[in-house]
């Protein structure tokens, strides 16, 4: 490896000029099968019965979702951004969920890429199967640190004692603390500081583990969030550019955000509208706050779902150009532009 090789991974915020990114794939995605108490804690009530073993998402939703992702890839490529795509995986065959939500399983922190120790059994093999080849390619292209997650091969303990717990009693989350668990999408990067949330998929040991995985000089702080259904922070807070963050006022507050010194001087904006729930195609796995789940490709350009006109209009006052693209069928299976991507290289990293 020549010592002059450029890093294939170098990103520690959500807004600097994007240079390289992973964009997910929807084909063969299935409703994830997890214990009923986990589905109850995290998924919209009207769709609970769909979360069974071997339960496919509607084929037409998946076809359209892949067309949307392909269009996103083209737009990113036109912007000069290098795009990596996951393997095709038969999620039905392996009892898994999807390759369309890479943000949950991988996070770049500086020149390190960290694999999430998923709490969900249905996601145990997701990074290996969908993104293993990308990790190998990144390692070939430049010097980087890859931190793979410890794997549970047989019986897990993460749900022990939780399935029948009564709501009033501790613990309040759908997992226990018997091993480290987090989803990468429970964290946002603000340079040397990551801000995260505890959730139904991220426990205390998981946060300690992440602290041990981030490169020297990086710290992980936890935001106070009021959301018993919490799973992924990217419809709760989202930095749109340096110094500007939008938050969901039903889940957190300016007071809670200001406790983080990295946000002291930021313009913190409660999203001023009430987003509308969509049922065609259905939002099987998320809330209507998914409209906040945008992808900044630079400090002045943000990709937004084309139907989220209110959001697109709202960002213009901050000197941000919204790029509207369709992603409703990807939304249907679990997330929007932030969830469906992993930024690998952004132009500036903090020093
Ligand atoms: O708050 O509805 C959005 C993010 C899903 N990965 C929510 C979750």
Taking only the tens place, the pLDDT of each residue in 118-130 is 999 999 999 999 9
For residue 234, which atom of ligand 1 is closest to its CA?
A: 4
Rounded CA-CA distance 189/225 in Å is 17
Ligand 1 centroid to Cα of residue 84, in Å, is 23
Q: Tell the residue nearest (CA) to atom 8 of ligand 1.
A: 286
Whether residue 142 is predicted with pLDDT greater than 80 in this model: the reply is yes
Q: How confident is the model at residue 1 (pLDDT cuts 50, 70, 90)?
A: very low
CB under 8 Å to 89, separation ≥6 — which residues?
A: 28, 96, 99, 129, 130
Beta carbon of 233 within 6 Å of any ligand 1 atom: no
Residues 323-338 have a mean pLDDT of: 98
Report the SS3 class of residue 289.
helix
Catalytic status, residue 232: yes
The catalytic position among 232, 234, 329, 343 is 232
Instruction: Select from 81, 15, 75 the least CA-distant residue to 318.
Output: 15
Ligand 1 centroid to Cα of residue 323, in Å, is 21
Rounded CA-CA distance 177/166 in Å is 17
Q: How confident is the model at residue 171 (pLDDT cuts 50, 70, 90)?
A: low
Whether residue 2 is predicted with pLDDT greater than 80 in this model: the reply is no
pLDDT for position 206 = 98
Catalytic status, residue 183: yes
Beta carbon of 110 within 6 Å of any ligand 1 atom: no
pLDDT for position 3 = 52
The catalytic position among 183, 186, 234, 308 is 183
Q: Tell the residue nearest (CA) to atom 3 of ligand 1.
A: 235
Catalytic status, residue 339: yes
Report the SS3 class of residue 108.
strand
Residues 88-110 have a mean pLDDT of: 98
pLDDT for position 170 = 56
Instruction: Select from 114, 227, 85 the least CA-distant residue to 235.
Output: 227
Q: Which two tokens stand for residue 133?
A: 């080849």
pLDDT for position 351 = 47
For residue 283, which atom of ligand 1 is closest to its CA?
A: 2
Q: Tell the residue nearest (CA) to atom 1 of ligand 1.
A: 235
Q: Rounded to 5 degrees, what angle do the CA atoms 25, 152, 97 make?
A: 25
Q: Rounded to 5 degrees, what angle do the CA atoms 92, 96, 97 make?
A: 95
Beta carbon of 235 within 6 Å of any ligand 1 atom: yes
Q: Which two tokens stand for residue 73?
A: 């890839």
Whether residue 320 is predicted with pLDDT greater than 50 in this model: the reply is yes
Cis amide linkage into residue 98, ω under 30° from 0: no
Instruction: Select from 283, 284, 326 the least CA-distant residue to 304.
Output: 326
Beta carbon of 286 within 6 Å of any ligand 1 atom: yes
pLDDT for position 6 = 78
> With a cut of 0.85, is the ipTM above it?
yes
Q: How confident is the model at residue 172 (pLDDT cuts 50, 70, 90)?
A: confident
Q: Which two tokens stand for residue 102?
A: 């890479």
Strand partners, 188: 195
Name the DSSP letter for residue 75: H
Spell out the domains of the chain, with CATH numbers in brackets: 18-151+158-346 (3.75.10.10)
* % of the chain with per-residue pLDDT over 90: 92
Choose the weakest-confidence range: 163-172, 209-218, 231-240, 269-278.
163-172
Classify the phi-psi angles of 273: left when phi > 0, otherwise alpha if psi is within -120 to 50, otherwise beta: beta
Residues 311-333 have a mean pLDDT of: 98
Ligand 1 centroid to Cα of residue 282, in Å, is 14
Strand partners, 245: 239, 268
Residues 66-82 have a mean pLDDT of: 98
Strand partners, 20: 82, 345
């Amino acid at each position: 490896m020549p010592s002059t090789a450029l890093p294939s991974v170098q990103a520690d915020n959500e807004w600097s000029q994007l240079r390289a990114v992973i964009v997910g794939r929807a084909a063969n995605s299935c409703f994830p099968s997890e214990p009923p108490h986990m589905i109850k804690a995290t998924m919209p009530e009207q769709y609970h019965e769909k979360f069974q073993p071997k339960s496919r998402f509607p084929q037409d939703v998946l076809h359209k979702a892949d067309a949307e992702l392909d269009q996103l890839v083209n737009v990113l490529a036109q912007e000069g951004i290098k795009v990596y795509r996951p393997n095709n995986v038969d999620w039905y065959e392996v009892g898994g969920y999807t390759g369309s939500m890479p943000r949950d399983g991988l996070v770049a922190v500086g020149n390190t890429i960290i694999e999430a120790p998923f709490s969900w059994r249905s996601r145990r093999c997701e990074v290996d199967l969908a993104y293993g080849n990308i990790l190998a390619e990144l390692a070939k292209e430049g010097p980087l640190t890859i931190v793979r997650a410890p794997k549970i091969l047989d019986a897990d303990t993460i749900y022990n004692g939780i399935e029948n717990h009564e709501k009033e009693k501790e613990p309040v989350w759908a997992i226990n603390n018997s091993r480290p668990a987090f989803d990468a999408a429970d964290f946002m990067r603000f340079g040397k500081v990551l801000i995260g949330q505890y959730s139904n998929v991220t426990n205390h040991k998981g946060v300690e583990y992440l602290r041990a995985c981030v490169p020297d000089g990086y710290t992980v702080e936890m935001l106070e969030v009021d959301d018993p259904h919490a799973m992924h922070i990217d419809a709760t807070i989202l930095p749109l550019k340096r110094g500007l963050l939008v938050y969901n006022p039903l889940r957190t507050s300016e007071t809670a955000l200001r406790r983080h010194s990295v946000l002291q001087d930021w313009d913190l904006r409660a999203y001023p509208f009430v987003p509308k729930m969509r049922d065609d195609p259905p939002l099987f796995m998320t809330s209507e706050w998914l409209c906040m789940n945008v992808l900044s490709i630079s400090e002045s350009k943000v990709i937004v779902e084309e139907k989220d006109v209110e959001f697109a209009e709202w960002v213009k006052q901050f000197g941000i150009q919204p790029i509207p693209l369709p992603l409703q069928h990807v939304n249907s299976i679990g997330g929007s532009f932030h969830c469906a991507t992993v930024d690998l290289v952004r132009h500036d990293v903090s020093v």
